[in-house]
Structure 1
């Protein structure tokens, strides 16, 4: 038996249209790649800010930390690191898109944090950084 014009066919639609606003003919879905990146970046930010939480203490005990507790060391190996390894894949993108508010300068490192014009002063002035006596000093410690 033939179905003729009544056959059911899959109609492909561009993902940009599906994710578009309902008012413009889309389904109003969020772009999952961007949403996933944002959620993973939130965990990176939480790691930097939440000093005493149990989940952070477990991550630090397992993988270690660097940059005065702002970042986790990258997990190595294949066993038992899956979720945190996926979070850490977004570390560079996340930190490139974070801007610091200096405030009193007690937590912002003068040379290595990106607090001045979106770059670290150590990258902008590498010769001065090489001569610096206190490379891990905070903004507060460097200010008169």
Structure 2
């Protein structure tokens, strides 16, 4: 009753933590992208540079034809920007608009109006940097708002003055070095839910944890879910005469209200929650330790 993609999300982000093989494969391939960016390789890297890159930086290379390995690199290399940070030296390996070289953020996100009318979005930093300042080409004259953006860009973007090559670091690990595990988590593209972690640490049977997880995703076999799958009956709660869902059964139903009155007295603080997610967040702010936010203690 839950999509496989949702099951493969890490536990602290709402899934069951099952390894997603496709996502892991991309994370493993990103290590090769990282090694190419760092120049960490022997004969194989010399071959890549001579046959495919030909003096161009990897992220700016658009050559798509080649070996299966090269095609795979080209298809996933943009994902490295999820954690990539570039320290500009001479700028020869950095794209002006799309690479994260200014405070870890691409200029296309900071100045979207300018990026939308730029003549060459893939231009490298040295091609735009002259001794007297930045010189770029737009497809049309700038309007008043765009002139303000351009003046701000000139004020915050420094010219490259170093003769050394650009260097890269990985912002998702304390050491600054690429790791497959951090890349895998970044590829999930889902926020961490701090109030959900105690569920998997609580001293409960696994089947209870799975039940709570299904309730959080509203995937219990309620009347509404059964009807979606062409099951018998209707989706109306016989007591409340409203659509029956997992949250409605355990929180909103008139029978549940009576039970939760006793639970509130046992847990201590008063609260109002419309579903389990709301309950967990409220409990996490009311108790001293997050591991106790489920209330599984001697008080019950």
Partner of 2:89: 106
Partner of 1:56: 45
State the SS of the aligned residue for 1:89.
Answer: helix
| 1:93 counterpart (74, 79, 88) | 79
- RMSD value over aligned CA atoms? 4.2
- Higher RCO (C-alpha 8 Å, min separation 6): 2
1:38 shift after superposition: 1.1
Change (3 A) 1:53 1:132: same
**Unmatched tracts of structure 1, length 5 or more:** 1-11
Moved over 4 A (4+): 18-21, 69-72, 107-111, 123-127
Q: Distance in 2 between matches of 1:19 and 1:111?
A: 32
- Scaled by the length of structure 2, the TM-score of the pair is 0.30
Q: Distance in 2 between matches of 1:54 and 1:72?
A: 22
Is the contact made by 1:44 and 1:88 (CA closer than 8 Å) also made in structure 2?
no
Is the contact made by 1:65 and 1:72 (CA closer than 8 Å) also made in structure 2?
no
**Unmatched tracts of structure 2, length 5 or more:** 119-125, 135-158, 164-300
Q: Find the structure with the greater CA-based Rg.
A: 2
Is the contact made by 2:36 and 2:45 (CA closer than 8 Å) also made in structure 1?
yes
- Scaled by the length of structure 1, the TM-score of the pair is 0.54
Partner of 2:162: 140
Q: Distance in 2 between matches of 1:64 and 1:130?
A: 18
